[in-house]
Amino acid sequence: MNDYKNTLNLPNTKFKMRANLVKLEQEILTLWYQNNLYNKIRESKKGKKKFFLHDGPPYANGNIHIGHAVNKILKDIIIKYQSLSGYDAPYLPGWDCHGLPIELQVEKKIGTPTDLASAKIFRKKCRSYALKQIKKQKKDFIRIGVLGDWKNAYITMNFETEANIIRTLNKIIKKKYVYQGIKPVHWCINCKSALAETEVSYSTKESLAMDVAFSAFCMSSVKKIFKLKNSHNLSDIKILIWTTTPWTLVANRAIAVHENYEYVAIKVNQELLIIADLLVKSVTKRLKINKIEIIGKTLGKELNNLIFTNPLTNVNVPIIISKHVTLDLGSGAVHIAPAYGEDDYKISKKHNLEIYDPISLDGNYLLNNLPSLDGLNIFTVDKKINNLLKNKNALYSSDNIQHSYPHCWRHKIPTFFRATKQWFINMNHNQLRQKVIAEIKKISWVPYYGMEQITNLVLNRPDWCISRQRIWGIPISIFVNKDNESIHPKNFELIEKVSKKIKIHGIQAWWDLNKNELLGNEKNVYKQITDTLDVWFDSGSTYDSILRKKWLFLKNNPVDMYLEGSDQYRGWFMSSIVLSTAITGHRPCKTILAHGFVVDSKGRKMSKSAGNIVSPNSIIEKFGADILRLWVASNDYKSDMHISEEIIQRSVDIYRRIRNTIRFLLSNTNDFNPNEDLIAINDMLSIDQWALMKTKKKQKEIIFSYKKYHFYEVIKKIIEFCSTDMGSFYLDIVKDRQYTNFKTSLSRRSCQTTLYYILESIVRWIMPILPFTAHEVWQYIPGNRSKYIFTEEWYNKILEIKCNNRITKIIWNILNNLRAKINKMIEYKRKEKKIHSSLEVKVIIYLDESILNKIIFLKKELHFFFLVSEVVLKNYCDELKNSDIASENKRLKIYIEKSEGQKCLRCWHYTNLIEKDICERCTNNIAGNSEIRNFF
């Protein structure tokens, strides 16, 4: 028996079936950075229209987590897509470097600074720590395949950037948005600092709710108002307040009632309790009082200025009138602690109440007059206060309740309202709030409902508290008068002088400021501010402090895109839009894309306690960065993204399908030279023309999905193309022609031309998502080409293809329906073990005459389409007259028979035209007398 293997055009390529991405990617990365790939891309895009995605700076603290990877990969996909679309799309990565998390890490090592000298050392240690974190994170981001200007990445602690942030602050001050005031702000005992609204989240907290009674200072005054007679035997008269923050009782300075509510005096044993009339039922139920006797009524306004004694501190406090009192909960009387609540503070200003704040920065009482509470933390004293009140017969109920409560975004611990002197950006000055909302509406939001979310946040947010009581941060560089602390008239000019020094020496120049040198005769009016800026100001101002300084093309124009996690609606998105609107009058960007969070396969958040943390580095070390990128792209990022090893394995399977398809294309174009062997479109076989038109259509769909930033649709369309259009259809059909036809025949070159065009298209489709694989593929595609795919654009030749295919869409539908039925019947025969291969089959098809006439011209080549050895077409009416067949609606009958011919040992088709073990067709192909194919 002769071996005809050497006469076949068998596939051959050095492109491996197994990618070994972990090793391969490292080699490719080395090549990219040795050859300055990023700079080469910039050179190739000179003069193109710009697309700029501004990198929201990640915080320079700790290893990158899976959320970091999602964020950076999405950005990189978009930039690579825009580059393919003909834009010059530079990427400037950045880091946020100041603030509390870095301070805490340094405090663990060297403790808290106690003087100016140690504060200077502390800042140096913070800077050193941040640099180490940046170096580590940069390495990880590069490993993911993110191409960017890493050598010139912006970091907010660069001296020049620190100076520019201060200049940005000065612009805001000059426009009179900044003021200093005492207002209640969220305070975190771990941060030991004020927080902005953006740093606060709400979650459920268990609190001890209490009904506490304040005794009347003058019982006769109360009796007179309630018109009480024959009440000589009363031991006490009390007003009842209900609170969920018992720790604030030490700072109580008044009790508020509503002027128009009716209040009653109810007798309980030998005491009178004053509560709101409409709350009698709920209060007595809470106090477990079965029998009540109402012995007097009066309106709230009549109680004004009555004095009652705080049972915890023995401080006498007045009753005041306030409309903020409601009848939703409690007793109708509200205790007022001016330093610890928004409403309390407003009321205290109106009534000139003392703003008493006996709490340290870390939340401990400073109470010399109450030694039993002195030094205790406010969040641990509920039981202690409970017992103290009980001992004084002032506690009437106590019960644990669950309620929504503000928590520090960083530390996940409860915050509390605290009235302190802080610096604020006035959201209502010059109609800033309305202008911000107007600019939000001009931004294109992905997803679209992001606009509503951030609009509601802006509508409801208070003034922005921009000051922090920290050491490692941009100083609030403002010159104020010593006497009244108003902003100095020459502040703008003075700060510009300071900024020049900071540009050279960094923020330490502010703390080392030589007042004599700078202020001259005005030094006596100067006071140095010791607060630092909210880090959201640092990062939010980068549009002004970084981009408008570095990128001249921006001028006052918004950049193209911001892209961050959905938590940044209240964070970076918010601060950026507010600052840009205040400074330039317009939005900082044209589009904002927000992605969801990563959760495990059960939908749980990643946490150490749950043991479900998936590290991006662990995925890369096991599977490769392209697999991680493929998982990111396969998710609809608008909602939470699920991850587990099983889910990652699905991405491995998808990758394998794409790679195997590309490998087939490469292995069958190994002897193809596009400069010499390309076949004109109108000279190509019909099925090749069909494949090119399918590729053209798919490319349009894929580009449209990229344009919408629907990357999961891109993956879906690529898989459909590889699995359905190519794998189970076109590539199966062309194998016979590709392997058995004469090497340089028109029909084979037609197929190779098609495969070449598909290769040029698909390598670009995958490039933004699978850059390492695309780079590898690019090296094997035949023909002269640029060194890197990353300097290329979409393969527009595929979009220019036009052809007059003799096989119309109607005929393709007929053929595909027949093929599906035939394949099903062949599979059934195979399961019965009556045949082993479809090439053993002869197919007889009885068709309606109208259908038969449409496809009869394909008769000689149909067996190549159906992957069988013989196809016989017959007229349904002429050949089948019996009634059972005639009654069929579709007027179609298919018979599968085993072929009667012999098997050709070269092409494996069965035929009667066998000579020396091979068929006549193969004999001619070997000799160079290639068979004529028109269709398949």
CATH number of the domain enclosing 821: 3.30.2320.20
The verdict on residue 762 lying in a domain is no
pLDDT at 576: 97
Domain membership of residue 314 (yes or no) is yes
Mean pLDDT over each residue of the chain, to the nearest integer: 93
Residues 6+ apart with CB under 8 A from 591: 443, 444, 445, 446, 560, 561, 562
Per residue in 16-57, pLDDT tens? 999 999 999 999 999 999 999 999 999 999 999 999 999 999
Tokens of 159: 């001296």
d(CA 268, CA 287): 11
> What percentage of residues in the chain have a pLDDT greater than 70?
98
What's the pLDDT score for residue 520? 76
Q: How confident is the model at residue 716 (pLDDT cuts 50, 70, 90)?
A: very high
Residue identified by tokens 């539908």 is 813
The share of the chain scoring above pLDDT 90, in percent, equals 82
- Provide the pLDDT confidence category of residue 522 given band limits of 50, 70 and 90: confident
Containing structural domain, residue 848: 809-900
CA pair distance 933, 858, nearest whole angstrom: 10
Average pLDDT over residues 181-185: 87
Q: Per the annotation, where are the binding residues for ATP?
A: 608
CA distances from 578 to 435, 514, 534, 536, 544 (A): 9, 33, 14, 11, 12
Residue 172, in any domain of the structure = no
Q: Is residue 829 part of a domain?
A: yes
Task: Supply the pLDDT for residue 116.
Answer: 81
**So what's the pLDDT on residue 878?**
64
Average pLDDT over residues 202-214: 93
> Taking 50 as the threshold, does the pLDDT of residue 596 lie above it?
yes
Sequence-distant (≥ 6) Cβ neighbours of residue 771 within 8 angstroms: 76, 80, 145, 147, 626, 629, 790
Q: Which of 256, 339, 335, 342 is nearest to 300 (CA)?
A: 256
The per-residue pLDDT for 883 is 39
Q: How far is CA 917 from CA 206, 785, 921, in A?
A: 87, 44, 12
Choose one of 381, 408, 435: the last residue of a domain: 408
Report, as an integer, the average pLDDT of 512-523.
79
pLDDT digits (tens, 9 = 90+) for 254-270: 999 999 999 999 998 88
| 496 domain-assigned | no
Q: Decide: helix, strand or coil at residue 13.
A: coil
Domain boundary among 353, 385, 408: 408
Decide if pLDDT at 891 tops 90.
no
Confidence of residue 889 (pLDDT cuts 50, 70, 90): very low
pLDDT of 671-687, one tens digit each? 999 999 999 999 999 99
Q: What is the pLDDT of residue 553?
A: 63
pLDDT in tens, 391-411: 999 999 999 999 899 999 878
Q: Residue 929's pLDDT is what? A: 85
Count up the domains in the chain and report the number. 2
Q: What angle do CA 772, 777, 779 make, to 5 degrees?
A: 105
How many CB atoms within 10 Å of residue 797? Answer: 12
Q: What is the pLDDT of residues 68-125, one digit of tens each?
A: 999 999 999 999 999 999 999 999 999 999 998 899 899 999 998 888 889 999 999 9
Q: What average pLDDT score do residues 648-662 get?
A: 97
What is the layout of strands, in order, in the sheet containing 870-875? 870-875, 841-847, 892-898
Annotation: binding site: 564, 608, 904, 907, 919, 922
Query: Does any domain span residue 852?
Result: yes
Reply yes or no on whether the pLDDT at 550 is more than 80: no
Give the span between the Cα atoms of 120 and 123, in whole angstroms. Answer: 5
344, 379, 408 - which closes a domain: 408
Over residues 612-627, the mean pLDDT reads 95
Q: Which residues touch 455 (CB under 8 Å, ≥6 apart)?
A: 437, 440, 441
Kind and range of the H or E run holding 276: strand 271-276
CATH number of the domain to which 258 belongs: 3.90.740.10
Q: What is the model's pLDDT at position 434?
A: 98
Q: What is the pLDDT of residue 913?
A: 81
Res. 787: pLDDT tops 90: yes
pLDDT tens digit sequence for 337-389 = 999 998 999 999 999 999 999 999 999 999 988 999 999 999 999 999 999 99
Cis peptide leading into residue 447 (ω within 30°): yes
Euclidean distance between CA atoms 150 and 213, whole angstroms: 65
Rounded to 10 deg, the angle between the 711-720 and 746-766 helix axes is: 160
Radius of gyration of the chain (CA): 39
Residue 322 pLDDT class (50, 70, 90 cuts): very high
Place of tokens 């009440």: 231
| pLDDT at residue 880, rounded to an integer | 55
In this structure, of 241-250, 303-312, 370-379, 912-921, the range with the lowest mean pLDDT score is 912-921
Closest CA to 891 of 879, 871, 877, 881: 877
Binding site residue list for Zn(2+): 904, 907, 919, 922
Please indicate, yes or no, if residue 228 is contained in any of the structural domains: yes
pLDDT of res. 515:
77
Cβ-Cβ contacts under 8 Å for 825 (sequence gap 6 or more)? 894, 896
Contact by Cβ (8 Å): 106, 133: no
Whole-angstrom distance, CA of residue 634 vs CA of residue 716: 8
Is the CB of residue 189 less than 8 Å from the CB of residue 413? yes
pLDDT band at 890 (very low <50, low <70, confident <90, very high): low
Q: Six-digit token pair at 31?
A: 């090549």
Q: Report the range of poorest mean pLDDT among 131-135, 232-236, 755-759, 825-829.
A: 232-236
Is 371 within a domain?
yes
pLDDT at position 786 is: 95
The annotation places the binding site for L-isoleucyl-5'-AMP at 564
Q: Identify which of 116, 103, 101 has the alpha carbon closest to the alpha carbon of residue 61.
A: 101
Q: What is the predicted pLDDT for the residue at 610?
A: 79
pLDDT of residue 884: 45
